Amino acid sequence: MTVQGGTKSVKKSATSSLGAPSQYKQASRKGKKSWRKNVDIEDVEEALEGLRTEERETGTTLQKKQDEELFVIDVKGDDRIRHTLPKYSSSQLTSLKVLSQRSAIPAVFSRTTASSTKKRALTHEEKERLIRIAKRPRKGPFNSVLDPSEYKSGSTIVELSEAVKQSGRYDPWAAKQPVTLPDGLENVYKPKIKMPKAPHPKEHINVPAVLEPHQGTSYNPPVDAHQELLLQAHKTEEKRVQEVERLALFKKKIDGLRQEVNVEDEAVAPGMKVQEPDSDEEHREGKEEEDEAIIVPPRKMPERKTKQQRQKALQHLTEQRTLAERAAKKRLLASIGDATSLRKATKRLMKTREEERYQRRLAMKERVRRRGLAGQKLGKHKIPEGEVDVQLGEDLSESLRALKPEGNLFHDRFLSMQQRALIEPRIRVIPKRHRTKIVEYEKHAWKRFE
């Protein structure tokens, strides 16, 4: 270290701290030969030597060990720690201290050991492979020596290929496992989405595929059954008519509001309609006289309060707040005695609501079990309840010869599958007819009017 002009300049040592020679005094590094020779790698050597020290002390580097091997929570303590720690001795030689430090890495022995002389039994396939590599003569059937060039021409058993060995292990229909990139970024394949474990509605439905028809649908039904079915069909049709009337009334209200909005003159923009002047001059003059008779008193500006007035107002406000707090505290203390009764009343109310909710849930489950999902909305569409098939008295045929088939079996099966939650509700989609739109263009020559 040299001192020049009050500043310190540090010179690097010509030798490395590890003993390896180094040259840092070269003036120029323009040539390729001097690049590799005079590069300072002392920090790299120190890091490598630290890793070697860790291997000698622990048997491996600390980066490869788990957290459980490096850290431990000591809640009891070790009573024998004093006996295991090395004792300081000033008379012990340095050479003995160095020799006492044993490395955790096992030593390499040049002589043979019991484990190295132990022979390993070769399998038949391994032995055949080694013979082929060494090109030793192989014996075929009847102790015949085979030609090495004809091993794979069908004269002997050929080694199984890798495809044959891996046969039966690959499932082409199995889901692809996500492959993690080496740098720990996002997966190559999207993770498989787990299906939610929600109960399916069909598990609670106990509706047969083909329902037993009502007695009133017979070609020669009893009078009571026929009248009951007619009344049921009448109620269904009445509900439908009421729904149509409700929608028509709603549409009529909307049309009325639109007409009120469009009453304004089309030539005037909305909100810019000019009021028409009154034609009655007498009414105008009387209005002017009334306006003159009404005298609006001038607004008096509030005077500035003095300091005493402001303090008085602040004191009054403070007193009001104090009284309000006392009243609230008094109400709170009075309600403490009613806390038990309020809690019991709230508990009874919550219990009643829970019972009602439970009863509604049971009624819904019973309805679904008996009738299926008819009349409920599932997704975007509502599952229809089905039409009531009934004939009027004059349309009934009293014999099978004059019976006319009605209904559609396909429609009945499709509706039954929807009500039993086997398929989702759908409506008929009528394809729209494609209409060619004519686009007219006016040529530039016809745009000029001369």
Nearest CA to 205 out of 31, 446, 373, 398 is that of: 373
Give bridge partners of residue 257 from the DSSP assignment: none
8 Å CB contact between 416 and 371: no
CA distances from 150 to 135, 136, 138 (A): 12, 14, 11
CA distances from 50 to 33, 47, 71, 438 (A): 30, 5, 20, 84
8 Å CB contact between 179 and 167: no
Residue type, 70: L
Residue type, 386: G
pLDDT at 441: 80
CA distances from 40 to 14, 24, 32, 46 (A): 11, 8, 15, 12
What does the block give as tokens for 167?
């046969």
Residue 146's CB is within 10 A of a number of other CB atoms, namely 15
Give the DSSP H/E element, type plus range, for residue 258: helix 223-261
- Any idea which residue has 């509502």 for tokens? 382
Beta-strand pair 377-378/7-9? unpaired
Digit-coded pLDDT (tens) for 140-154: 667 777 665 555 544
8 Å CB contact between 403 and 397: yes
Give the DSSP H/E element, type plus range, for residue 129: helix 124-134
8 Å CB contact between 160 and 151: no
What does the block give as tokens for 433?
């007819």
Helices (H), 143-201: 162-165
What is the pTM (predicted TM-score) of this model? 0.40
Give the residue ranges of the chain where pLDDT is below 70: 1-39, 86, 88, 112-119, 140-141, 146-159, 176-191, 263-296, 446-450
Distance CA 45, CA 16 (A): 10
Contacts of 136 (CB under 8 A, 6+ apart): none
DSSP 59: S
Nearest CA to 383 out of 356, 433, 421 is that of: 421
The DSSP code sequence of 282-338 is HHHHHHHHHHHH--PPPPPPPPPPPHHHHHHHHHHHHHHHHHHHHHHHHHHHHHHTT
